[in-house]
Every structure is written in structure tokens, then in C-alpha cells.
Structure 1
Amino acid sequence: MKLFSTERTNVYLLTPDLADSLQLFLLENRSHFAPYEPLRHEDYFTLNSITQRIESALNDYEARKCLQMVFTLKGENNIIGSINFTNFIFGVFQACYLGFSLDRASQGKGLMHEALSKSIDYVHKTYGFHRIMANHLPDNARSSKTLGTLGFVKEGYAHSYLKINGVWQDHVLNSLVLPEEA
């Protein structure tokens, strides 16, 4: 289901009909993503496992717990990026976490910035979040730059924060504070 478009991309809610395309995206970028993700076992890349994760995410989406999206270039079907807003918290906090990944061949073209900018607007209008948090490895200059150009501010540094690629690693903590919806 297409949620919206940007100048060069179409952004979709991640649904089971996109499982084949997501599998291709994950397999083609497996070594590229590995330094930034938890260790992935072979089962993670199977179509059955991918479909189950999508269905679980859809249940969480319907329960207003997360929003998992993918995007393509306009006029194309191949997924080139994913954007995930997770751990929705409402009430006095009104916040969520942001995660994103981009196909190696699509980097350096401003596509992630373009898709994220509109995705943040969409999430802000749809859910009314006040704060979006996004963390990255200290040496991930691309993510740091992308977040900075979107207005995220470094708020801290967490030692041994997440187990990435089999090793507990430090992370830079960032957030974007959004204006209150009128």
C-alpha cells in the first residue's frame, strides 16, 4: 500500500506482497548491512521468515506500536530502502525510534534524506509524536550526516549500547523534537 511519494521515490507500508522484493533487498545488501546490524542467521533471509516478520509488524502497526516502510524509485519495483518507526510511546512522552537502511548502490544521491524527510512529516501528522530518537554507531558518518541535515541533535553517548555484528558497541544518541500539532 503506497503511503506517499517524494520527488524521486514511492514509499509503501511494508506488507506481505512485498516479501519477495524485501528478500532481494536484504540478500543483495547482506554484507553491506552486516557491520550495522545484529548477527543474522541464515533463516533471517528466508522468504518464510521475512513474511512472518512482515505479518508481525503489520499486527504491531494495527495496534499503533510501529510503522515499517520501504521505498522504491518512482517507476521501479525494487526496494532500495527501508524506514522503520518503532517502539511507539504515547501519553506524556509521545515518542518513537527511527531506523533506516539504504541499498549500497543508492547511497550518496540524497534519496534517504528525501524519503526520511517526508516520512517524518507523515509520522508527525499521523501519530502526533513530539520526539523521534535515532541512534548510530560512532563511525557511521553517513547516518550521522543524514540525521544532522534532518535536524536531529546529538543528545548523548551510550557505552556498550547494542550488540551489533556480534559485539557490544557504543552508540551516539540523537533526537528530533517536533513542534506540537495545532
Structure 2
Amino acid sequence: MNLSRPLIEDVVLRLVRPDDAPSFCEAQLRSREQLAPWEPRRTDEWYDPAYQATRFQSLLDRENTFPWVVASQDRVIGTVTLSNIVAGPWRSGDLGYWIDVAEVGRGLASAAVAAVCELADQELLLHRIAASTRTDNAPSQRVLTKNGFEQYGSARNYLHIDGAWRDHNLYQRILNDRAPGEAPS
């Protein structure tokens, strides 16, 4: 199974490696202020490469999670994670992503989400991907709708983000109508 994809120019989507931790931490620190409204509050441990290397290995060891990095010449400039993957008749997973503040505006989030949708459909044989955004996160909503996601609902006090329970819009993309686990023809 090939779980890597070229995105644009010298940027690729590939599975995370524990040795990505220092570069990831640099990008997270650079983007800390930009990401604060959209993520849980982070402790100092979050920015420690040793902690992240262990976390990355733990993510890679899970059967229901695919953690990718958006990388330019082995420099992490974002991540995309497909988690909570359920097989059987559900064939679904949850999507999360972010791009380094220094790289925003290049179309990388849209390209990375498109690549993950393709991988989820063609390689992981999923039927559906779900995502959520805070109700006021218009840039992320644009990324999702550009990639064929539709809003199907909203959830009050859905996630504890930036220090409080926040309302979220719920999105999904139906990837195919194949029987569960059936390969594309």
C-alpha cells in the first residue's frame, strides 16, 4: 500500500516518522498563535521533540489511525490525520489537519485533504470521511467544501478548544458507493 503522494512543487504527503519530531515542534511553535483558536490548549510538553517522537510512534502503532505530515525536503510544514477509522459496514474515519503559518496561502491544506481523500478511497477502502470545524473557522470550511465535503449538521459544545467548549459544524464526504471493503474497479 502506497500511502504517500506528491502535493505541489517540492511538497509531499507521507506518513509521519518519529524523527520528524524536531521539525514538527519548530512548525508548531512558529504557528502557535495562529493555531490557538482552533486547537486544545497546549502545555510546554507538546513542543518537546522527545514527547512528539513518542507520540508519533504511538500513532503509527494504532490500527485505526493514519498520521501524515506535509513535508518539504523533510521539513514538516503541516499534518493531516485520519483517525477513529471503523471498518465493517461503517467504513469511516475522522479528518484533522493544519498547515504551518509560514506556508498558509499556497493551497497546501486543500491539496493535502484531496490526497487523503484519494488514499482513503483507493487504498484504505473507506466509504466516508467526517470532519468538524468551529463555526467561525471559515478558512477550514473552505478547504472542506472545496474537497467535496458537505455540512450535515452542527453540534453545540462539541469540542474543548482554546480553553472552552465550542460549537462546531459537522462535515462529511461520501467517497464511493461500493460495498464495505470492496476495492475500486
Q: Is the structural similarity TM-score above 0.5?
A: yes
2:78 aligned partner: 81
Give deviations 1:119-171, integer Å, cap 9, x for gaps: 21012111111110000001101000110010000000100000001100000
- 1:103 matches 2:100: yes
The answer to whether the 8 Å contact 2:3/2:123 transfers is no
Alpha-carbon shift at residue 77 of structure 1 (Å):
3.0
The answer to whether the 8 Å contact 1:2/1:10 transfers is no
Alpha-carbon shift at residue 82 of structure 1 (Å):
0.6
Alpha-carbon shift at residue 69 of structure 1 (Å):
0.4
Query: Which whole-Å CA distance do the structure 2 matches of 1:131 and 1:12 have between them?
Result: 21
2:166 aligned partner: 169
Of 171, 175, 178, which aligns to 1:178?
175
Query: Which whole-Å CA distance do the structure 2 matches of 1:7 and 1:22 have between them?
Result: 20
1:46 aligned partner: 48
Where 2:79 maps in the other structure, the secondary structure is strand
1:135 aligned partner: 132
Alpha-carbon shift at residue 6 of structure 1 (Å):
2.3
TM-score (norm 2): 0.91
Moved over 4 A (4+): none
2:90 aligned partner: 93
2:27 aligned partner: 25
Alpha-carbon shift at residue 2 of structure 1 (Å):
7.6
Relative distance call for 1:171 and 1:83 in structure 2 (3 A) is same
- Number of aligned positions between the proteins: 177
Give the partner amino acid of 1:70.
Answer: V
1:57 aligned partner: 59
Q: Which residues of structure 1 form unaligned runs of 5+?
A: none
Identity between Structure 1 and Structure 2 (%): 28
Where 1:127 maps in the other structure, the secondary structure is coil
Give deviations 1:99-130, integer Å, cap 9, x for gaps: 00011122222121112212210121111111
Query: Which whole-Å CA distance do the structure 1 matches of 2:37 and 2:7 have between them?
Result: 29
Query: Which whole-Å CA distance do the structure 2 matches of 1:108 and 1:88 have between them?
Result: 29
